[in-house]
């Protein structure tokens, strides 16, 4: 759902860690409501238009700016006193049950980081939704978290990532084991 002007105005008054801008429309709205007195930190949500298995959250119908749109907004933001461009946000897949598609997605993120650096744009923060999945069906095998941890910790030490503060958006992998879904299909009631 797109962030409206009133919603963005409310966010601006709440001293957010960052507002994630997901479209050019949201960017134009933010410019209207952001005040110079309260410099608003922003992240740009990039949709690289690629998918690697699990639930696809990339492509034309999904949220996010193309890398080129993101770059032009980041450049414009650099010359505006009312916003502080912090970096990029990525969430372009979910319910990934193997390590390979998560690492492939990270490789795409690294290409985009490089694309921004080539244009001399400093990225302080990268906010990542890695889309770690949980087994829903008897046939599903759980994601090997320790293998993922091993591969990611090596990557985080590389030159690409070492100057960057990584923010993580963990979803189902964090909360799925915290409760049970109980469903009565006759009455169409779902509780957790």
Nearest residue to ligand PLP by CB is: 171
Rounded least distance, CB 124 to ligand PLP, Å: 19
CA distance 171 to 15: 24
Question: In the complex, what is the shortest distance from the CB of residue 42 to ligand PLP, in angstroms, rounded to a whole number?
Answer: 15
Member of 23, 69, 94, 98 binding ligand PLP (CB under 6 A): 94
Site mask for ligand PLP (CB under 6 A), range 141-170, x = bound: ----------------------------xx
φ, ψ (nearest 5 deg) of residue 10: -60, -45
Closest CA to 44 of 59, 30, 61: 30
101 binds ligand PLP per the rule CB under 6 A: no
87 binds ligand PLP (CB under 6 A): no
Strand, helix or coil for residue 38: coil
Nearer to ligand PLP, 31 or 172 (CB): 172
The encoded tokens of residue 190 equal 């779902």
- Under 8 Å between Cβ of 180 and 171: no
Distances in Å between the alpha carbon of 6 and those of 2, 26, 27, 82? 12, 12, 14, 17
Question: Residues interacting with ligand PLP, by CB under 6 A?
Answer: 91, 94, 129, 131-132, 169-173
């Amino acid at each position: 759902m797109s962030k409206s002007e009133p919603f963005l105005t409310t966010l601006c008054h709440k001293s957010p860690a960052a507002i994630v801008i997901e479209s050019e429309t949201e960017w134009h709205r933010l410019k209207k409501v952001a005040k110079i007195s309260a410099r608003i930190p922003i992240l740009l949500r990039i949709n690289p238009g690629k998918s690697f298995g699990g639930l696809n959250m990339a492509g034309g119908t999904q949220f996010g700016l193309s890398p080129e749109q993101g770059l032009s907004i980041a450049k414009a933001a650099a010359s505006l006193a009312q916003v502080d461009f912090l970096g990029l946000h990525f969430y372009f897949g979910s319910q990934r049950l193997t390590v390979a598609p998560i690492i492939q997605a990270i490789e795409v993120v690294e290409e985009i980081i490089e694309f921004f650096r080539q244009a001399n744009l400093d990225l302080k923060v990268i906010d990542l939704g890695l889309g770690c999945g949980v087994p829903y069906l008897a046939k599903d095998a759980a994601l090997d978290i320790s293998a993922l941890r091993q591969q990611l910790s090596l990557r985080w030490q590389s030159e690409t990532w070492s100057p960057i503060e990584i923010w993580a958006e963990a979803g189902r992998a964090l909360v799925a084991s915290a409760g049970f879904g109980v469903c009565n299909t006759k009455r169409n009631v779902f509780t957790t």
